[in-house]
Structure 1
Amino acid sequence: MCGKLTFISGGVRSGKSAYAEAMLVKGATTAKGRLIYIASGRPVDDEMQHRIEKHKQDRAEQAWITIEQPTNLYEVLPFIQQNDFVLWDCLTTWLANELYTEHDGRFCIQLDGCMEKKAKQMLGTVDLIRSKSAHLVIVSNEVLDEFPSTYDETRKYSEWIGRLHQKLVALSDNAVEMDYGLPQYWKREGEVVVR
């Protein structure tokens, strides 16, 4: 039996991570499961380092097990156990990391078929995590409300975000968009919410 899958998106500082964490802490407390945090961020500059440290401090009161996994999501599989409550934060950071991994001196974003393979592998990994965990929550940034970029690589990045969001929402039991710290459910327990 598969665990629950929740997809949460929203703008920067919309409250996505805090909402996801609270949801999983509540579930893990009730079910006496482990809290697993899969972190995709890399400390590439002072701002990102500060954000990573803040997230760690925010989770300090609960017994989160953090797995730093900026690429190759499948490498987390040996660490996931039955009845785990898993948060993957975040899809958009993972995507940027994967698009700019090097393959024979070129980035994945420059190679035909490279990202298709990575996306397929990621979606398969999500299925495997879900098959073991009680609840998997995936957090992602909502950047598709912005005007299309004039830069080819930025357009490719946005296109991949859109594709992956659609695939993950289709697989999800719940799809939530955060605005101003408030959740708006577009899909709840597999049913599309009509407004």
Structure 2
Amino acid sequence: MKIVFISGGVRSGKSRFAEKLAQKASLNSVGKLQYVATGVPTDPEMESRIQRHQQDRRLDSWNTIEQATDIRVVAKHFQKTDIVLLDCLTTWLNNEFFIGGEKRGEHIRAKMVEDIEMIARSCHTLILVSNDVFFDAATDSEVVLTYKKVLGKIHQQVVERASEAFHVECGIPIVMKGVT
């Protein structure tokens, strides 16, 4: 079981880097490239981003599974040799808060970390993509503060378990943990 964590700002190139990393890992595996997409088309911009990501993956041999909440249910689709890319934790957390109907941050955090561990045990390599939202403008909104607190704890727990962690800026991956 190998976990790779990739974070970065919006439009930093983190998804493209994650896809390239997954494709490279698949060269040394007999498993499939699996893509877990958490995005929900809630507005025209998100619809466009989802379509762009889908088009990018059509060029390669990805099996895409779209799952907005309760990510653990997709673990049954994977083999121990598969390379799984989950994009992205921030969208998934948002979905759990607002689509999943669960509002308690600590419960959501524990559930998501359990789901991540379940998927990691079901495949060869799990690559997780997440947005770095911690430098965004400060807000007094209780929901936003709770969201950032939960996301920060998830990031810490995932990176602790990860063998590699990267931060992507301007399309350039910066190694935070491990070596490639």
TM-score tier, shorter chain, comes to: over 0.9
Q: Is structure 2 residue 179 aligned with structure 1 residue 156? A: no
Work out the number of aligned pairs and report it: 179
SS in 1 for 2:133: coil
Matched ranges for 1:7-26 at <5 A: 7-26=5-24
User: How high is the TM-score relative to the length of structure 2?
Assistant: 0.94
2:42 partner letter: V
- The offset of 1:102, in angstroms, is 5.6
Deviation at 1:67, TM superposition (A): 0.7
Q: Deviations over 1:51-100 (max 9, x none)?
A: 00000111111111111111011111111111000000000001111111
**Counterpart contact for 1:73–1:125, Cα < 8 Å:** yes
Distance in 1, matches of 2:125 and 2:140, equals 39
Paired-residue identity, %: 37
The question of whether the paired residues in 2 share the 8 Å contact of 1:84 and 1:135 is answered with: yes
Query: Structure 1: how far apart are the matches of 2:141 and 2:111?
Result: 27
Q: 1:84-123 residue pairs with structure 2 within 5 A?
A: 84-101=82-99, 103=101, 108-109=102-103, 114-123=104-113
Does the aligned pair in 1 maintain the 2:105–2:147 contact within 8 Å? no
Rg comparison, structure with higher value: 1
Work out the CA distance in 1 between the residues paired with 2:78 and 2:112.
15
Q: What SS is found at the alignment partner of 1:138?
A: strand
**1:69-84 correspondence runs (5 A):** 69-84=67-82
Report if the CA contact (8 A) 1:177-1:186 is conserved.
Answer: yes
RMSD (Å), alpha carbons? 1.3
- Structure 1 residue aligned with 2:130: 140
Which one-letter code corresponds to 2:169 in the other structure? D
* Aligned position for 1:60: 58
- How far apart, CA to CA, are the structure 1 residues paired with 2:137 and 2:14? 22
Instruction: Give the whole-Å Cα distance in 1 for the aligned partners of 2:70 and 2:135.
Output: 28
Distance 1:158 1:131 in 2: 27
The one of 179, 186, 194 equivalent to 2:169 is 179
User: Cα deviation per residue 1:87-140 (whole Å; 9 max; x = unaligned)?
Assistant: 00000001111111365xxxx33xxxx332332222122222222211100000
Confirm or deny: 8 A CA contact 1:37 1:66 kept in the other structure: yes
Letter in 2 for 1:27: A
Q: 1:46 — aligned with what?
A: 44
Equivalent position of 1:192 in the other structure: none
Structure-1-length-normalised TM-score: 0.87
Residues 102/129 of structure 1: CA separation in 2 closer, same or farther (3 Å cut): closer
2:28 partner SS: helix
Structure 1: 5+ residue stretches without partners = 190-195
Matched with 1:125 is 115
SS at match of 2:58: coil
For 1:32 and 1:60, the matched residues in 2 are separated by: 20
Give structure 2 stretches of 5+ with no counterpart.
none
Checking the alignment, whether the CA contact within 8 Å between 1:74 and 1:121 is kept in structure 2 is no
Between the aligned partners of 2:74 and 2:106, the Cα distance in structure 1 is: 20
